[in-house]
Amino acid sequence: MTAQPTALVVGSGPAGLMAATVLAEGGAAVVLCEKQKAMGRKLLIAGGSGLNISSALPLPDFLRSFEGPEIDWHKLFGKFSVRDWLEFLANLGLKTFKGTSDRYFVEELKATNLVKRWLALLQRRQVQFKTECEVVALRREIDSTYVVQLASGEELRVSAVVFALGGASWLPQGASADWQKMLAAAGIQQVPFASANCGFSVDWKPEFLSEVGRQPLKNIELQTRKGSRKGDLMITDYGIEGTPVYAVGETGIGFLDLKSDLTAAAIAARLGSAAENLAPLRRAVKVLKLDAVRSALLFHHAPAGVLASTESIAAAIKKFPLLLKEARPLTEAISSRGGIALIEVDENFMLKKMPGVFVAGEMLDWHAPTGGFLIQACVSQGYVAAHAALSFCQHPSI
């Protein structure tokens, strides 16, 4: 058995990196394990198309964005807030800005420097990195420490463990994460993983797809039973992608507001005042300046009889019915629902059945939309879990 670290963090996503930081700065000797060949892979992937690091929404709206009623979200973000996270990034030497969509970004819009500087900070704090390192088993000893077995055969004795292993959106279809089996064997209840922040299938007519190709429906509002969200939707061969459907998509009929900047009365007034003697759809396209995607959507997918009058077209523009079929599979999802049931952890994200073992991030059964909410929750959970884990490092027999 190797020389004894006092804490082991497993996973180098945002929750794991924050946990390692808090533990090291609290005086613990820390080993950070990562299954991949390099640290911070999840952050680097997330930053491939612009790294949303948090949200600038007012607190009530911000808190309503999170699902997982067993978590006291207000209390969590009171311990490590959006401002705390932005200050942490500033201390790494990173500049951030608030975009027009009430999202915070790092100035360079990618995660390369964030990961590089964060890992450098951990190295200065003497954190030991182990890549291509996988935990396969752990057992609690009489003295309340844990012996952690790695896939390499190496064993570590630690006072506390923080697992931050992510969700299942990266897994092959139908596969299970190895940690699920390990924790299930310890009696930890889990909720099956499912797609989240993903597109939905729509039965587009071939004529519609051949006309619009892969183009966006810009500045629309999608409404479902889950709520409504404005933004852009991308038309795909299989259906739709984009922030609105990630936020409120669910199987069943949804409604698109194709002119969210105009009221129904304003649309009706404009159509009614047009002097040209045009067919109703041509009149709507010209007067309302409908783009090619909206025009094609109305022409090919409006319900029967809608195109017969400007009045029915006006109503359809404000409430266009769209049948969302199944969610896209986990292999295509940005994140996942499911994981460790929240009843299994205490307010500090410690497993009740395994004192000294903590879990944080997307391996827990909570959910949030894209737009900085996911990463904020992960770093906040990593921060809280690690602070609680410090007491086990300082007092192993607790």
Sign of CA dihedral 259, 264, 265, 270: positive
> Which amino acid is residue 163, in one-letter code?
F
Q: Is pLDDT above 50 for 398?
A: no
List the domains of the chain with CATH numbers: 7-195+333-394 (3.50.50.60), 200-324 (no CATH)
Q: How confident is the model at residue 280 (pLDDT cuts 50, 70, 90)?
A: confident
Q: How confident is the model at residue 275 (pLDDT cuts 50, 70, 90)?
A: low
Q: Is pLDDT above 80 for 310?
A: yes
Q: H or E stretch including 44?
A: helix 41-46
CB 312 within 8 A of CB 299: no
Mean pLDDT over all residues of the chain?
Answer: 90
The more confident residue out of 280 and 17 is 17
Q: What percent of the chain has pLDDT over 70?
A: 94
| pLDDT tens-place string over residues 244-266 | 999 899 999 999 999 999 998 89
CB 50 within 8 A of CB 105: yes
Highest mean pLDDT among 72-76, 93-97, 371-375 belongs to: 72-76
Q: Which three-class secondary structure state does DSSP give residue 116?
A: helix
**pLDDT at residue number 169:** 67
Cα-based distances in Å from 115 to 13, 39, 93: 10, 8, 12
Q: Is pLDDT above 50 for 3?
A: no
Rounded average pLDDT over 27-47: 87
